[in-house]
Amino acid sequence: MNSNENFLILPLQGAVLNEDVNVFSDLYIINGNSDAKIDKISNLMNSDRETVKKMLMHMINSRSNDFLKSPVLVYKTKLKNINLFRDYVLIAYYLIAILNAVYFAYVYPKNKIDLVSYMFTKKDRLEEFRVDIRKKNNHVLICNDFCKNFMCYPLNFNYECYHELDWINKNNNKNTIKEVLDIIYKNDDLSKRFLRGFRFFQKAILTEKEATCFNNEIKSDEILLLHIVLECLLIKDTFAKNNSLKIRKYISRIITLNDYKSKDVFNLIRNMTTSRGQYVHEGKYYKESNDKLSRILYMSDEEIDNYMKNKDSINNIPNLDLFKIVVAKVLIDNTIEISKLSDNCYNETTWFDKVEKVIKDR
């Protein structure tokens, strides 16, 4: 079953969308009720509405009851064969991972879903973001442009997008997503390193959703996974000396965080790499030292007012969240850099030469 164009359709569970997003010509995220989504998908695929409806209802009735309740991602892939199960599932995974990484790099903590406020103001849309009341989607739909053939592939991974997706329509975010997505189809060793980075970043942000009584252990797991992202990108020789120092130097020289100075970023990464080492080698859990929200009961009224007015400021979020932002920036910024150059310009050797140059320049 071959086709000139094959589409991937996937609900973005956990997310909320107020306006449709045309990321670029091959990628859309659509909003609305089931009928509206069927209309929009039919138009995007240039296909008969009844045919599209039958296909989607088959998915809903046989696989996923809530398939059209969340915002729906529609992506025209570069694959020509509809039977490539593993390839389509991987593309679905990386689409989610890249959206989440761009969000954390350039938007977070803005557009983060506040469950309490949503419960009081958007009760009719609870199924979009309440994991405890919606039915988990376990499939991705692949179809050709005329819906003559379609496949319902099972997903072998968990995923969530806990943010308001309207951030994509702002600033340069659409172009950023488009540039980063090119790496999905590359197969060279350097691109594989970056793709591994996206996988571990996705694992890290899912870790915090695992509610248990061992919250400090979860935070330590998250730091470990985020540190692996940096190792995928920046460490050529696992057995070389001072790898943690190299990571700290590289990041403090290329990443800026609002009012944070280079030495502040260096110290942040040092604290995280130290915590990672203590967890791996001694089993010591991470303890957050900058969690202002946990201290709100001990604040004065003036301090509480000031915190609430600036709660989305980068200066008011915990160090672990800052680390998450830094790792996402390193991942996204460098992916864009290598995506703009031809394969002849960048390979593992030239990439690590560049990393070493940044480390030794100052």
pLDDT on residue 231 = 95
Q: Mean per-residue pLDDT for 165-178? A: 95
Closest CA to 67 of 152, 7, 156, 165: 152
Confidence of residue 305 (pLDDT cuts 50, 70, 90): low
Q: CB atoms < 10 A from the CB of 83, how many?
A: 13
Confidence of residue 79 (pLDDT cuts 50, 70, 90): confident
For 341, residues 6+ apart whose C-beta sits below 8 A from its C-beta are none
pLDDT on residue 207 = 87
Residues 319, 290: contact at Cβ < 8 Å? yes
Q: Mean per-residue pLDDT for 275-299? A: 72
Residue 123 has pLDDT above 80, yes or no: no
Please work out, in degrees rounded to the nearest 5, the angle formed at the alpha carbon of residue 79 by the alpha carbons of 96 and 70.
Answer: 30
Report the DSSP beta bridge partners of residue 9: 74, 141
Region for residue 269 given its phi and psi (left: phi exceeds 0; alpha: psi -120 to 50; beta: otherwise): alpha
Q: Mean per-residue pLDDT for 106-116? A: 83
Residue 266 has pLDDT above 80, yes or no: yes
pLDDT on residue 362 = 62
pLDDT on residue 161 = 85
Residue 83 has pLDDT above 60, yes or no: yes
pLDDT on residue 132 = 54
User: For 107, what's the count of Cα atoms within 13 Å in the CB-facing half-sphere?
Assistant: 25
Residue 238 has pLDDT above 90, yes or no: no
pLDDT on residue 2 = 43
Q: Mean per-residue pLDDT for 223-232? A: 96
Confidence of residue 308 (pLDDT cuts 50, 70, 90): low
Q: Per mean pLDDT, which of 226-235, 246-255, 294-303 is the most reliable?
A: 226-235
Confidence of residue 1 (pLDDT cuts 50, 70, 90): very low
Q: Per mean pLDDT, which of 190-194, 205-209, 357-361 is the most reliable?
A: 190-194
Q: E-assigned strands of the chain?
A: 6-11, 21-24, 27-30, 72-76, 139-144, 150-154
Confidence of residue 361 (pLDDT cuts 50, 70, 90): confident
Residues 197, 243: contact at Cβ < 8 Å? no
Q: Across the chain, what does the average pLDDT equal?
A: 84
Between 259 and 45, the more confident residue is 45
Using DSSP's 3-state secondary structure scheme, residue 241 falls into coil
Place of tokens 């990672």: 276
Backbone φ and ψ of 153, nearest 5°: -90, 135
Q: For residue 310, which amino acid is it?
A: N
Residue 124 has pLDDT above 60, yes or no: no
Residue 167 has pLDDT above 60, yes or no: yes
pLDDT on residue 297 = 47
pLDDT on residue 260 = 75
Residue 298 has pLDDT above 70, yes or no: no
Q: Mean per-residue pLDDT for 51-64? A: 93
The sign of the CA dihedral 74, 76, 78, 84 is: positive
Token couple for 237: 């020789």
Confidence of residue 318 (pLDDT cuts 50, 70, 90): confident
